[in-house]
Amino acid sequence: MNEVIIATKNSGKAKEFIQMFESYGITVKTLIDYPELPDVEETGETFAENALLKAESAARLTGRPAIADDSGLVIDALDGRPGVYSARYAGIDKDDKANNRKVLKEMAEVVDDQRSARFKCVLAVSFPDDRESIIVEGDCEGRIAYEESGTNGFGYDPLFIPEGFDQTMAQLEPNMKNEISHRAKALRKLQVSLTELDGGMK
């Protein structure tokens, strides 16, 4: 595998994937490089279903192996919300600030020991031939802060304090985030499974 399509137009996610794959000498392209491709409607009820929808569509339309992720924030005190609706939690438009404001409002009365949460990532790899798709997942446990802090991340990063840290994900250096993030953990699992792809990633 010397080229892979990352089925996202999210520049933040794209940057993380590029950083993760560059040490393997693998060229990364994203849906930003294929503006003619239609958006895939995320109609799944789980992270895995949505990741598969996106990966299978990208592989079929580009003729290349494609990786898609569906990820989000799962908050225990909110019965798992925002979950699969993380990107559009505050409305149909993807608005990180509005999403964060909504979460903070809903968590305003939640005490310290009940603010547990996790970032969850499901990665799906699909192929343009008849090989079966691969699915792996990774979690990053932590808790919800009382206010936004940090500028290094995107999405809910300014609200999420990873387990073992006193800083939010958005306050951590990118290299550290890429060590502990849900996406990094899922990718490490994926590396074990990619032996089917031209000998896999060495």
70 within 8 A of 54, measured Cβ to Cβ: yes
Q: In terms of C-beta density within 10 A (0-12 exposed, 13-18 middle, 19 or more buried), how is residue 109 classed?
A: exposed
- Cα separation of 109 and 111, whole Å? 6
- 10 annotated as belonging to a binding site for a ligand: yes
For 6-33, b/e burial (b = at least 16 CB within 10 A) is bbbebeebbebbeebbeeeebebbbbee
- 139 annotated as belonging to a binding site for a ligand: no
- 83 annotated as belonging to a binding site for a ligand: no
- 189 annotated as belonging to a binding site for a ligand: no
- 13 annotated as belonging to a binding site for a ligand: yes
- 57 annotated as belonging to a binding site for a ligand: no
- 8 annotated as belonging to a binding site for a ligand: yes
Catalytic hit among 70, 95, 166, 198: 70
- Cα separation of 38 and 63, whole Å? 15
- 11 annotated as belonging to a binding site for a ligand: yes
- Cα separation of 16 and 172, whole Å? 14
- 24 annotated as belonging to a binding site for a ligand: no
- 149 annotated as belonging to a binding site for a ligand: no
> Is position 96 annotated as part of the catalytic site?
no
Catalytic residue numbers, as ranges: 70
Residue ranges of the annotated binding site are 8-13, 41, 70-71, 154-157, 177, 182-183
Residue ranges of the annotated binding site for Mg(2+) are 41, 70
Residue ranges of the annotated binding site for substrate are 8-13, 71, 154-157, 177, 182-183
